[in-house]
Chains A and B, each alone.
Chain A
Amino acid sequence: MGKFVPTPSCTVGPFFPAHYFGPNDNDLTVTSNAAGASSKRAQGTKIYIAGTIYEADRVPRWNSIVEFWQADASGHFAHPNDPESSKADPDFMGWGRRASEDDGYYDFITVKPGGYKDPLTGLVRAPHINVSIMGSGLMRRLVTTFFFPDEPANAGDPVFNAIPDAKVRERIILKPAKFPRAPADALCYRLDIVLQGEDETPFFLD
């Protein structure tokens, strides 16, 4: 343990400012929010991920703050903890944010992340996206990880397999889908997030 203790977490509350959201905050393929910005697009396969967030009894939960964090298309991070950070795509930041809409809908545009051999554990990580959910009623954030369907590396992924029950693991595998709001050139996936209930999304100890 370090000598300083982390400041307690607290709920984001119901009043997270709407004007914190830029037009491209949920589009990870661009690195700017400026109107008409001609920033280069991130490398990789463009994907669209959307779904609905529910609280107990399948009630859609609007005004949830959802954040993505992921590797670039080749499995690198622009961060000093990644020994191969110099290989990270300069046009990809890996982060996005979105508030769920009145009907609980959320969506992100991003690129499919690459897997990597993890230098901390020596294990191979399958392609995945870390997701944080914050909101009123959540004194601490909830964290989960999305995985991709038909990925052989899922079988050896240490986070995927931290969930012993295959039926529960299935709930964080993205499902191929179609959405009217998706960009025409994106592969589309659905994943509904159930905060509480029988088919609750598995969340990790943070």
Chain B
Amino acid sequence: MDKLPNRFAPYDDRTQPAFKVEGYKETITRVPMQGFYKRPATLTEVTGPLNLARKLDADLSDLSRAKGGGRDGKDGARAMGQLIFVTGRLLDEDGSPVRNSIIEVWHANSAGRYIHKMDAGSPFPEDPNFFGSGRCLTDHEGRYQYISIKPGAYPVPNHPQRWWRPPHIHLSIFGSGFMSRLVTQMFFPGDPLNAQDRILNSVPDPKGRERMISRPIPMMELPRADVVGFAHDIVVRGSRATPMGI
């Protein structure tokens, strides 16, 4: 048992979002009512796909240009909006780097519209040069980076209590195993809409909410002059240090 490197504890509910969120009506009809069964972690839970790049294209780290979107298969013209550079490290609960993990990144365009049939009713324009999604791979230090344009805010459609989603970036992370799978969102520091976002504020612990908000990177530390930089470390479940007993 001691030879097994990764252990997983149940999530602490204070640091995770509530299942039901006031004003977010989809949580009413889609969340199970009959509770959750506690089960032991076995090999199927502590393993996961480590070679997904065989099947998924992980080399899509510039979302500001639609890959293959231009003529002759060349990269497309640049999307409208403020160029951003986002970087950080993917870590486990010991602070160890999670290497070679795919991170999927998607978000609205600079006007607040998604490339998705679910957003066909959006009042905001599409951007023919914005594809809206990419992927990158963490390196030996767990570091990832991507270029994109800053997403716009948008009002949540068809809700009786109207509210805005602040600019945010969706992240889907595989980590080291089934139990480290994480889907989350990254927010921007200092945005006035953060304080009223029902999704960000569904996490009870203020420190938990802070873990979803990126930090500005000083301009002198950026690799190029045309981007605004944001740093965002992500921690996925999993620990090598302490037996978890589950």
**Which A residues contact B (CB, under 8 angstroms)?**
1-20, 22, 24-25, 31-33, 55-57, 59, 61, 63, 67, 69-71, 77-83, 93-95, 116, 118-121, 123, 125, 128, 130, 132, 134-142, 145, 158-159, 162-163, 195-197, 200-206
Contacts and interface: CB of A to CB of B under 8 A. Distances in A.
Nearest to B9: A1
Contact of B118 (A59, A63, A138): A63
Contacts of B212: 7-8, 10
A20 B133 contact: yes
Given A20-B104, A137-B31, A2 B92 contact: yes
The majority secondary structure among interface residues of chain B is loop
A141 B42 contact: no
B77 interface: no
B4 A8 contact: no
Interface stretch (B79-87, B188-196, B223-231, B235-243): B235-243
22 contacts: A4-B93, A8-B211, A9-B182, A10-B199, A15-B118, A16-B106, A16-B116, A19-B131, A67-B181, A69-B47, A71-B44, A82-B47, A93-B51, A93-B54, A136-B26, A138-B30, A139-B199, A140-B16, A163-B37, A203-B32, A205-B37, A206-B179
B110 to A, nearest CB: 15
A203 B27 contact: no
A69 B21 contact: no
B140 interface: no
Nearest first, the 8 A-B pairs at minimum CB distance are A2-B93, A137-B26, A79-B47, A95-B49, A137-B30, A17-B133, A56-B29, A77-B47
| Highest count of chain A CB atoms <10 Å: which of B37, B52, B117, B236 | B37
Q: How large is the interface on B (under 10, 10 to 19, 20 to 34, 35 or more residues)?
A: 35 or more
B162 interface: no
Nearest to B51: A93
Interface string B15-37: 11111010011111111111011
Contacts, number: 261
Given A204-B37, A205-B38, A6 B47 contact: no
A7 B236 contact: yes
A60 to B, nearest CB: 12
A1 B4 CA distance: 16
| Highest count of chain B CB atoms <10 Å: which of A9, A116, A203 | A9
Given A135-B30, A162-B39, A6 B181 contact: no
A116 B43 contact: yes
Contact of A202 (B37, B95, B118, B242): B37
B95 A128 contact: no
B208 to A, nearest CB: 5
Contacts of B15: 5-6, 8
Given A8-B15, A10-B199, A17-B132, A195 B177 contact: no
B154 to A, nearest CB: 10
B48 A69 contact: yes
Contact of A1 (B46, B49, B236, B242): B242
Nearest to A137: B26
